[in-house]
């Protein structure tokens, strides 16, 4: 356990600077964005009133009052940093392994020689990725109310529609990142965790068999993906044949099998195929 925690911390440390930079970029982009979009919304409102010769009450009565926060959340200011974080973390899933092989002094040899189960390295890297994901999710959750406050400070109350915290996360992208209940959050990110495990194992297959390994890794990855989406196929091929609880059980069993195979295979490869 101690070794595992040490390894997790070690991995966090290695990415921390870049992590702080992408967090910083997200904060800066979204704060500038919310100020910019709020001012643009207000300008636009005044322009509509001027061009249509509307009094303020006519403006409200005609239904012009919009939702500036929607405008901001769907703008590049808010979306691009989110996509940037997603892309960087996706790349880091590969980088977290390959830097150990290709960085200076082939660090993987030192890692594999540590007096601990080699699978601990695998779990430590996986935990690190998860920590980074949840950290960014939390950052966005902290940012949204702050941005809303900034927007409310710029746009007078009568010019905008207010939202509850529940509604703020109704946007398509947010419902993907923040499923509407905690149970769905666990399910969604559970699938994410399995995908990371499959990718990690694919990387280890490639590292074990090199050129041939690329082919095996792709076959393994594609196969795992198809097995994982079997419940969705079942739902579309046989609509209403399986009841919700049955589908959930099937999904749970299949996910456990895919995760189990990924971990077992990784353990096997780390023990017997990756030699130092």
Residues that bind another protein (CB under 8 A): 5, 8-9, 12-13, 16, 66-67, 70, 131-132, 134-135, 137-138, 141-142, 161-167, 169-170, 175, 178-182, 184-185, 187-188, 231-232, 235, 238-244, 247-248, 251
CA distance 20 to 142: 15
Nearest approach, Cβ of residue 5 and another protein (Å): 7
Distance CA 169, CA 166 (A): 6
The nearer residue to another protein, 42 or 139, going by C-beta atoms, is 139
Minimum distance of another protein from residue 185's CB (angstroms): 7
Of 28, 63, 68, the closest CA to residue 44 belongs to 68
Are 179 and 187 a contacting pair, CB within 8 Å? yes
Please report, for residues 57, 158, 160, 169, the alpha-carbon distance to residue 65 in angstroms, rounded to integers and kept in the order given. 10, 8, 6, 20
| Burial of residue 32 (number of CB atoms within 10 Å: 0-12, 13-18, 19+) | exposed
By beta-carbon proximity to another protein, the closer residue of 196 and 217 is 196
74: which residues sit within 8 A by CB, 6+ positions away?
171
CB of 16 to another protein, least distance (A): 5
At 66 the three-state DSSP class reads: strand
Burial of 94 (0-12, 13-18, 19+ CB in 10 A): middle
The smaller minimum CB distance to another protein, of residues 5 and 214, is found at: 5
CB-nearer residue toward another protein: 6 or 118: 6
The minimum distance between CB 87 and another protein, in angstroms, equals: 20
CB of 56 to another protein, least distance (A): 16
8 Å CB contact between 22 and 84 = yes
Name which of 165 and 214 has its Cβ closer to another protein. Answer: 165
**In angstroms, what is the minimal distance from the CB of 100 to another protein?**
19
Tokens of 135: 């950290």
Question: Of the two residues 81 and 231, which places its CB atom closer to another protein in the complex?
Answer: 231
Cβ contact 269:204 at 8 Å: yes
Least distance from C-beta 267 to another protein, angstroms?
24
Closer to another protein by Cβ: residue 66 or 221:
66
């Amino acid at each position: 356990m101690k070794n595992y925690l040490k390894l997790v911390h070690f991995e966090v440390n290695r990415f921390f600077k870049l992590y702080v930079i992408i967090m910083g970029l997200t904060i800066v982009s979204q704060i500038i964005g919310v100020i910019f979009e709020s001012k643009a919304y207000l300008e636009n409102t005044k322009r509509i009133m001027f061009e249509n010769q509307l009094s303020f009450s006519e403006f409200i009565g005609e239904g012009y009052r919009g939702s500036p926060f929607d405008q901001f959340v769907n703008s590049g200011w808010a979306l691009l940093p989110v996509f940037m974080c997603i892309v960087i973390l996706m790349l880091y899933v590969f980088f977290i392994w390959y830097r150990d092989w290709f960085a200076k002094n082939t660090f993987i040899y030192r890692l594999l020689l540590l007096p601990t189960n080699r699978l601990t390295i695998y779990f430590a890297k996986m935990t690190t990725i998860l920590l980074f994901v949840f950290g960014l999710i939390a950052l966005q959750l902290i940012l949204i109310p702050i941005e809303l406050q900034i927007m409310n400070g710029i746009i007078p109350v009568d010019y905008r529609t207010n939202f509850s915290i529940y509604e703020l996360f109704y946007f398509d992208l947010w419902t993907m990142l923040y499923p509407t209940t905690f149970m769905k959050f666990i399910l969604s990110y559970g699938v994410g965790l399995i995908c990371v495990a499959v990718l990690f194992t694919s990387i280890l297959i490639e590292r074990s068999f090199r050129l041939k390994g690329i082919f095996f890794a792709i076959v393994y990855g594609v196969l795992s993906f198809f097995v994982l989406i079997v419940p969705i196929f079942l739902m579309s091929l046989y609509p209403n044949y399986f009841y919700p609880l049955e589908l959930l059980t099937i999904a749970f069993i299949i996910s456990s099998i895919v995760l189990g195979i990924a971990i077992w295979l990784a353990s096997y490869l780390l023990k017997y195929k990756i030699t130092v």
